[in-house]
Structure 1
Amino acid sequence: MACSTVSESVLYTYKRSFHGFVMKLTKEEKQKVSDMLGVVSVFPNGKKQLHTTRSWDFLGFSEHVNRSNIESDIIIGVLDTGIWPESDSFIDEGFGPPPSKWKGSCQNFENFTCNNKIIGARYYHANGSLGEEDFESPRDSDGHGTHTSSTAAGGLVSMASLMGFGLDSSRRGSISTCCCVQTFDDAIADGVDILSVSLGALSGSLPSDYFDDSIAIGAFHAMKNGILTSASAGNDGPDLATIGNYSPWIVTVGANTIDRTFSTKVQLGNKMVYEGVSINTFDLKNSMYPMIYAGNAPNITGGFNRSLSSQHCRPAGAKDVAYSFPLPATYVGENDGASIFIYLNSTSNATATILKSTEVNDTLAPFVASLSSRGPNPITSDILKPDIAAPGIEILAAWSLNGPLSGVLGDKRREAYNIISGTSMACPHVTGVAAYVKSFHPSWSPAAIKSALMTTASPMDVAASSNAEDAYGAATPLGVATTPDAEFGYGAGHVNPTKAVDPGLIYDAGEIDYVKFLCGQGYNTTNLRQVTGDNTTCSEARNGIVWDLNLPSFALSTSPVISFSQNFSRTVTNVGSPRSTYNAKITAPQSVKIQVEPTVLPFTSLEQKLSFVVKVEGRIGSNTIESASLVWDDGVHQVRSPIVVYSLS
């Protein structure tokens, strides 16, 4: 590339927390840059996919929960589509000026202002990426960023609802927020405490190596600076090995249901009524309308001949998630659909109506939603992902008044609050809980907070899946569960905010631990120094094995039928009672034998560290996932770690 064109090609430079730049390159130029000394990686600056109330009460996190006196000093950074600053969720009444540690700013835009709730905002876009509906500011044109921000840190808004649906108090997990559309580099420099990232690779894309993934790289530097990154697992479930955001230094969040869902009935001209699923705000007043098969519907828009597009409609999907549509609509199970089709062909005057949705109690909740991406980890098979699950289905939160409720541009409905689903919605729940924990323990590392979230999570029952007549709603209209993927769906379990502030023991880790892990994974000294920015080296003495990374979970990938035996080394830190004795309790299936040495951990002081070894051995069949657990119990705290042994061949 000629020197005269270099400055024109560079779009962004990053030089505070880590060094890098964004520039336009041809394929040939990309290869030349990749081969240069000191270059860690070169990867496309492609789009990230959005991983797209009552949920806090469902978590047992009431308005009157115990709060610390420094909670309003905790700053959450949100990397998303923007924010709608006029929302009632972001009123700053009762808030003082931003914390003194805040180093960020609110960029000056005519259509956007900050306050003592939204204390900073930045706006980014690559050349040519601005859509007609987008604002040239941090103002949210989509709604997604407003929704995630208000879930993580929105203020209490009484009687919030979507046209009467989900009527409740919309609120947050933590008090203060920096709702910013920004890069990790700026977020770190600005002084945030927790980062919330409901973004990930595009569906169907191949998994990226840790240092070819911009989110993994940014989160590594955040961790290095004491900032925990909460990230969504992705919405490519229920297939296994679809997980996104799988680096071990972040907390990856899967989406589970809450005890509320929505029923939308179809009434036919023959008086039969079938129960479907959607969030239908349209009230047709029981009026009956002519009915046809979609494959026979003419479609002459967009250059289509006859009904090519309608004949090839995609299936509506699982019935454990209710979606909004820009017109009256619902989706029914396969059996009900067949009955409706029979009626349609039985008369030349078929009629039907779609009723307005009603709220229904879901007694099987929580279970992992079918859309939530599953593990195992595609890069490091012996690190469990996701880490945890949180409410992500049919979540009520603030919305952009520029964003259509259904996400379809032709939808003219505009509301201050919306109900949507996805791991994007689960992620900010964990972000809010992490901020809550940090407000009680401001000196805790990102790994310590992650450990507290995981070891206090409520175990989830795989049996909920087996009890459903049909995992995806073909025969069961409501309350259905997903396939029994166990920990590959929910990680350590369902996040429990009130228990997370007092975990008893924590599995701590820092930059050096992750560096040892990366060295053991084959990264060389040159790669690491360019990323860590220090004199880190990889040597035989420093190389770590994956089974010794001090995580609060255990995973082992093995070959079918062949006997296995693997040791895991761990160290826990006492953060409960100064003098306490923890006893190991193991739960395991018959095919897996688990031993712990020692079986008793006697602590005599706070912050004391004690180590132990877990030995896992046995033999399992092909395409098998075996779940076990280790609980350290002192009579007050039950510090639970999931153990997964699997063979997927």
Structure 2
Amino acid sequence: MAIKISLLTSLLLLVFNYALPFSSMASVENRKPYIVYMGSRPEGEERLAASRHLSLLQKSIGSTFSSDYLLYSYKRSFDGFVAYLSEDEAQMISELPDVVSVFPDEELELETTGSWDFLGLPEEVDRSNLESDIIVGVIDSGISPESQSFDDTGYGSPPSKWKGSCQVTPDDLNFTCNNKIIGARFYRSSGVFGSSDVRSPRDTNGHGTHVASIVAGGLVRDASFYGLADGTARGGVPSARIAAYKVCWSSSCASSDILAAFDDAVADGVDIISVSIASTALNYFGDSISIGSFGAMRNGILTSTSAGNTGPNARTIRKFAPWFLSVAASTTNRKFVTEVVLGDGRILEGISINRFDLGNDQYPIIYAGYAPNETAGFNGQTSRLCGQAYSLDANLVRGNIVLCDARITGPAPSLAGAVGVVVANDTQLDYPAEYLPYPVSQFSVEAGLQILEYIRSTGNPTATIHKSVETYDIWAPYVASFSARGPNILTPDILKPDISAPGVSILGAWSGSVPYHLASGTSAAAPHATGAAAYVKTFHPTWSPAAIRSALMTTASPISRSGWKNTVPEEFASGAGNINPIGAKDPGLVYDADANDYASFLCGQGYDTPTLRLITGDDTTCTAANNRTVWELNHPSFAASVPSGQPFSRFFLRAVTNVGSAYSTYTAVITAPPTLGIHVIPPTLSFTSLGQTLQFVLILRGELDIGSSGSATLVWDDGEHKVRSPIIAYSAAASDFVANYAQPEAAAAGVSTI
């Protein structure tokens, strides 16, 4: 993490980075900010980091050195700093033995909300003239048509393929569609509404609006959340049209409504569907998203859906179907940090999105475990979590900052009159707290113990909380702790999630009191993948859903384990890696599949004809001819669940279709650990035309101890394209896939938290 050298330096940095071009920085001559990364933090030198960095700068620059050149000193999770340097000085420092790398700090000057630029899809990227014909269906909590992100200035009439409608009710006569939001419907089969629900397609909680704007929101300058993340808000395909299908209300999202929305969306003529809704079913035919997306796939429509927010443990993902795109949440290089200043002068830097600033005034600070509301039957073990309403004694907490031992999910601090909250929560330290109506900052358990020790050792403990500021996360991208992980407990030899995309601190349109909001979750990751898929489709409108998914997966950027701790192999966290929209436009080869392939896969999984027809909706029949093993499904990744302590062999049959150069030869390049033996037959594929399909077999052999795994990659390389597929082999006890993870099927699924 970063610690600011001084408040004045911090303010100067903000002014320099967000208000003035570098050429106007006369005070630092012709220098510009550079990041100097020095590897891991030396043990026991946290307090000395700033002085060490100043000393290095002084020795390197010499007599022209000024302490004002040092802007940030990183000291907690890694060693490094940000300083104003000339090009020659940066080169000189990069050659020092203690320095890993030096590079310009240009990305701190965010021109947009950050995520699309971070993914390499800038505002001025090459775009197809078909983008305005693409219709994105968003199945969620509705949409706010008044948002600037959905302004239709300059749009023509909806594409002729559009068959949908705009549902207006007497309860909300102000709801209107336009040439951007070309359709909107709502569904509530139960007829039960909450007090905050509006019986129209209008979004009342912000979730659906946020998702829609990430996918296809138009360009909005000077968007921010109370000044945080200031820049241009935009979606991945800002010229595309939006059709909103409201299935989520204040209480739940009914499976029946989700299926109805899928059904309408397909008939209405959408091209891509985005669904950021949780799933609890443990079989394909008991899950509305699996069924709905299968029908969409059969009609040429790809569904992109959130992996879930139940991480970081293994086997927590509940989105299994191979025909949709399951998306994990990753970080961008923008991080929001919030200072807490203790009464003894110590400055601690936590993670949160906090728009409030208590200033330099100190407030009493109390540990929530010391303030239980005993008259209401609570004890310190409950009150310390700050989760249950009225668990805190208002007489003790009112006017205080309160230290809590869990991420805030309840109203207890507010009800007790707290002026701010400090959270000690190591499990999801990379997951900023949701917006709260008072100052908040989140810390590790270790930092929380420091604060608690200060409270215990001081007769009059005090603290203050400052407004969040943006910093640069050198480790990004990495998968967020909350993102659900594999392996796949339903079909262990299908890798899920498929891919990762930005899902932490994403600025998007909102409903209610703020026009734009910063939010986190796989609900925000899925629409990034949806936007990338839509971008690819604008250049390849005839590609199948499987081809688009393949293009996204085989061009994804591998994610390292740097950053937040990961207790599972990286493939179970990020799938094929982080999306790369520009690369996916020209993947070279694609692993294609159609409804018949997936039906054969399900037959091979043991589904009988009556069950399969529940999913396909047609007269599909399982026969010996189409009963295929999972290893024959033409998926862009390779996974093998193997017995422990025994030699194993897996044979994967795959086919790739040429979408690159007509005459091209691809060579198989394998990267694997010594524990795995991998062979590809044939090792080269020679194509003589576009659209030509060639088969190959990947043979995977080895022996793994229980609970161990081996990660490898296959890259088909023609000198221009690198078609990359992850390979993961792992061993586990059979009981791990059943006993601890079986859940009763639910008729309704809740909205994923963002």
TM-score (norm 2): 0.73
Residue 266 of structure 1: aligned partner: 340
Counterpart of 1:527 in structure 2: which amino acid?
A: T
Residue 320 of structure 2: aligned partner: 246
| 1:162-197 Cα distance to aligned partner (Å, 9 max, x none) | 011011111011121323125101111111000000
Question: In 2, distance between residues paired with 1:442 and 1:416?
Answer: 33
1:476-495, aligned counterparts within 5 Å? 480-495=564-579
**RMSD (Å), alpha carbons:** 1.5
CA contact (8 A) 2:454 2:461 kept: yes
Deviates more, 1:501-510 or 1:617-626: 617-626
Counterpart of 1:226 in structure 2: which amino acid?
A: G
1:193 maps to 2:258: no
CA contact (8 A) 2:352 2:441 kept: yes
Matched residue SS, 2:677? strand
Residue 91 of structure 1: aligned partner: 151
| 1:265-302 Cα distance to aligned partner (Å, 9 max, x none) | 1111111111111111111122111111111224489x
Residue 9 of structure 1: aligned partner: none
CA contact (8 A) 2:706 2:731 kept: yes
1:512 maps to 2:512: no
Shift of 1:111: 2.9
1:551 maps to 2:615: no
1:621-640, aligned counterparts within 5 Å? 621-640=705-724
Deviates more, 1:345-354 or 1:364-373: 345-354
Residue 384 of structure 2: aligned partner: 311
Matched residue SS, 2:500? strand
CA contact (8 A) 1:257 1:391 kept: yes
Question: In 1, distance between residues paired with 2:214 and 2:377?
Answer: 41
Aligned with residue 577 of structure 1, among 661, 666, 678: 661
Question: In 2, distance between residues paired with 1:415 and 1:533?
Answer: 43
Residue 177 of structure 1: aligned partner: 241
1:211 maps to 2:290: no
Residue 322 of structure 1: aligned partner: 432
Counterpart of 1:367 in structure 2: which amino acid?
A: Y
CA contact (8 A) 1:83 1:179 kept: no
Residue 58 of structure 2: aligned partner: none
1:340 maps to 2:439: no
CA contact (8 A) 1:396 1:418 kept: yes
Question: In 1, distance between residues paired with 2:168 and 2:223?
Answer: 30
Shift of 1:547: 0.1
Question: In 2, distance between residues paired with 1:145 and 1:304?
Answer: 39
1:102 maps to 2:162: yes
Residue 417 of structure 1: aligned partner: 516
Residue 528 of structure 1: aligned partner: 612
1:409-448, aligned counterparts within 5 Å? 414-448=513-547
Distance verdict in 2 for CA 1:300–1:75, change over 3 Å? farther
Question: In 2, distance between residues paired with 1:615 and 1:306?
Answer: 59
CA contact (8 A) 1:369 1:482 kept: no
1:143-182, aligned counterparts within 5 Å? 143-174=206-237, 175-182=239-246
Residue 276 of structure 1: aligned partner: 350
Shift of 1:308: 6.7
Residue 116 of structure 1: aligned partner: 179
Aligned with residue 490 of structure 2, among 379, 403, 409: 379
CA contact (8 A) 2:285 2:614 kept: no
Question: In 2, distance between residues paired with 1:508 and 1:555?
Answer: 18
1:570-609, aligned counterparts within 5 Å? 570-609=654-693
Aligned with residue 552 of structure 2, among 453, 459, 464: 453
Shift of 1:326: 2.4
CA contact (8 A) 1:111 1:137 kept: no
Shift of 1:622: 1.6
Shift of 1:309: 4.0
Distance verdict in 2 for CA 1:539–1:306, change over 3 Å? closer
Q: Which runs of 5+ in 1 are unaligned?
A: 1-52, 402-413, 466-479
Counterpart of 1:93 in structure 2: which amino acid?
A: T
Residue 303 of structure 2: aligned partner: 229
Question: In 2, distance between residues paired with 1:239 and 1:527?
Answer: 31
Counterpart of 1:239 in structure 2: which amino acid?
A: N
1:69-80, aligned counterparts within 5 Å? 69-80=129-140
Matched residue SS, 2:339? strand
1:62 maps to 2:172: no
Shift of 1:82: 1.0
Deviates more, 1:287-296 or 1:431-440: 287-296
Question: In 1, distance between residues paired with 2:352 and 2:712?
Answer: 37
Matched residue SS, 2:316? coil
Shift of 1:526: 2.1
Matched residue SS, 2:501? strand
| 1:367-413 Cα distance to aligned partner (Å, 9 max, x none) | 01100000111210000000000000000010102xxxxxxxxxxxx
Matched residue SS, 1:527? helix
Distance verdict in 2 for CA 1:300–1:357, change over 3 Å? farther
Matched residue SS, 2:549? helix
Question: In 1, distance between residues paired with 2:349 and 2:228?
Answer: 18
| 1:64-86 Cα distance to aligned partner (Å, 9 max, x none) | 11111111101000011111111
Counterpart of 1:420 in structure 2: which amino acid?
A: A
1:129-140, aligned counterparts within 5 Å? 129-140=192-203
Question: In 1, distance between residues paired with 2:230 and 2:276?
Answer: 25
Shift of 1:256: 0.4
Matched residue SS, 1:567? strand
Question: In 1, distance between residues paired with 2:699 and 2:148?
Answer: 53
Shift of 1:306: 6.7
Matched residue SS, 1:512? helix
Distance verdict in 2 for CA 1:632–1:511, change over 3 Å? same
TM-score (norm 1): 0.85
Counterpart of 1:141 in structure 2: which amino acid?
A: T
Counterpart of 2:242 in structure 1: which amino acid?
A: C
Question: In 1, distance between residues paired with 2:567 and 2:436?
Answer: 26
Matched residue SS, 1:628? strand
Matched residue SS, 1:274? strand
Counterpart of 2:243 in structure 1: which amino acid?
A: C
Aligned with residue 350 of structure 1, among 452, 457, 461: 461
Q: Which has the higher contact order (CA 8 A, sep 6+)?
A: 1
Matched residue SS, 2:624? coil
Question: In 2, distance between residues paired with 1:646 and 1:177?
Answer: 43
| 1:320-371 Cα distance to aligned partner (Å, 9 max, x none) | 1212322111121122211111111112211111111111100000001100
Distance verdict in 2 for CA 1:547–1:482, change over 3 Å? same
1:501 maps to 2:600: no
Question: In 2, distance between residues paired with 1:285 and 1:530?
Answer: 61
CA contact (8 A) 1:256 1:366 kept: yes
Deviates more, 1:285-294 or 1:229-238: 285-294
Counterpart of 1:315 in structure 2: which amino acid?
A: A
CA contact (8 A) 2:313 2:567 kept: no
